[in-house]
Structure 1
Amino acid sequence: MDLKHKKAKPQFLKVIQLTLGLFILALGVSLSVKANLGVTPISCVPYIYSLFLPFSLGELTIFMNAVFILLQIAILRKKYRYIQLIQLVAVILLGFFIDFTLYLISGINPTTYLGQLLVLLVSCAFIALGIFLFVKANITYIPGDGLLVVISKTFKKNFGKVKICFDCSMVTIGVVSSFLFLHKLAGVREGTILAALIVGLLIQLYEKISHLPARKLIGTENHQLPQRKGNAFK
């Protein structure tokens, strides 16, 4: 019995870490909404559609990511491993957390540009930390990232370039949708660009900080985020 508990505990802790990462990520997304300087590229489309559809940001985030899962299945077809539907569980949690954290911080309404900028920077820090914890849990992908991995591997394209094209596409769809349905620009501002620039840098910073004790002990300099064993998209 003890042996079974010892084996189960690390996986249980990974699930806790993944859940915590999703909650922190959702809090970061909600703070970016409250900053009112533009949301992150991946949140542009659901946020803009939440402004004129009778659905919440969390619900539309779930819907959009469900589409990403369908696109993965369409691209991979018979090669798709249905264990990857666990991505849907992760994004349902994320959507719920987004709506919940929006409720929790409903009292935060910065009235000055400096205050908005401060809230935006805090949101970027939370988004980066949430993504970092989620990736380190090493269980699954967020569907948007899963789609990028599928595209990158299937069509043999550089992941970084695919990511840039994907983010630009999300912003473009958001801008077009904003003018088409709201007749004005909403959800895309300087904060969108700032988030796109610094979230990745903050993730790298968290990675370096997490390895500081190991560096002191073994003197290593290069550390990478863990790679998932037995990649489900091969």
Structure 2
Amino acid sequence: MSFIPNSNTLLISLIYLIISIIAIAFGIFLYLPPNIIPLAGEGAMQAIAIVTKKPFSKIKVYFDSAMVIVSLITCIIMTHTLGSVGLGTIISAILVGTTLKYIVKIFEYIKGYNPLILT
């Protein structure tokens, strides 16, 4: 990925963050419906969504936010710093699931069904 310019400014970093959030959400959208073996985090979220009958995107926001909070607490206790948890991590925890929700809505509008509803 060396062809991508370094982010020297906050604006460039935010643009990269937005692009990555969209890419991650779209990737999750592509690999969950065909029931390919998910990563551990998404698998746990998928199980919670099925059991609670809540939208996966909402569970994703809650789960990711909880993991960021746990990470922050652990870093503060163990290293007395915020560790690698920065503003981008916090924004991503909230916006990946939210972006996924809108990708699903667009798909649902076009195709007429929600591919993330599993039974």
1:119 offset after TM fit, Å?
0.9
Partners in 1 of 2:86 and 2:39 — Cα distance?
Answer: 24
Distance 1:117 1:174, change over 3 A: same
* Residues in 2 aligned to 1:163 and 1:192: alpha-carbon distance in whole angstroms: 14
Q: Counterpart in 2 of 1:224?
A: 114
Counterpart among 63, 67, 83 of residue 166 in structure 1: 63
1:115 equivalent in structure 2: 12
Aligned length: 117
SS of the equivalent of 2:85 reads: coil
Q: TM-score if structure 1 supplies the norm length?
A: 0.39
TM-score, length-normalised on structure 2? 0.67
**What letter matches 1:190 in structure 2?**
L
Q: Which runs of 5+ in 1 are unaligned?
A: 1-103, 215-219
**Aligned partner of 2:91: which letter?**
L
> Given residue 98 of structure 2, which amino acid in structure 1 is its aligned partner?
L
Secondary structure of residue in 2 paired with 1:136? coil
Distance (whole Å) between structure 2 residues aligned to residue 149 and residue 202 of structure 1: 17
- How many percent identity over aligned positions? 29
Which residue in the other structure is 2:74 paired with? 177
The structural deviation recorded for 1:107 is 6.0
Q: 1:207 to 1:159 in 2, by over 3 A?
A: closer
For 1:51-130, list aligned pairs within 5 A: 104-105=1-2, 108-130=5-27
SS in 2 for 1:139: coil
Q: What residue is the counterpart of 2:42 in the other structure?
A: 145
What amino acid sits opposite 1:133 in the alignment?
Answer: L
Opposite residue 225 of structure 1, the aligned amino acid is P
- For 2:53 and 2:86, the matched residues in 1 are separated by 28
Partner Cα distance (1:128, 1:164) in 2: 11
What's the RMSD between the two structures over aligned residues? 3.3
Return closer, same or farther for 1:209/1:150 CA change in 2, 3 Å cut-off. Answer: closer
**C-alpha distance in 1 between matches for 2:59 and 2:108:** 28
> Residue 39 of structure 2 aligns to which amino acid in structure 1?
I
Instruction: Say which of 28, 43, 48 aligns to 1:131.
Output: 28
Structure whose CA Rg is larger: 1
Unaligned runs of 5+ in 2: none
The structure-2 alpha-carbon separation of the partners of 1:204 and 1:117, relative to structure 1 and needing over 3 Å to count, comes to same
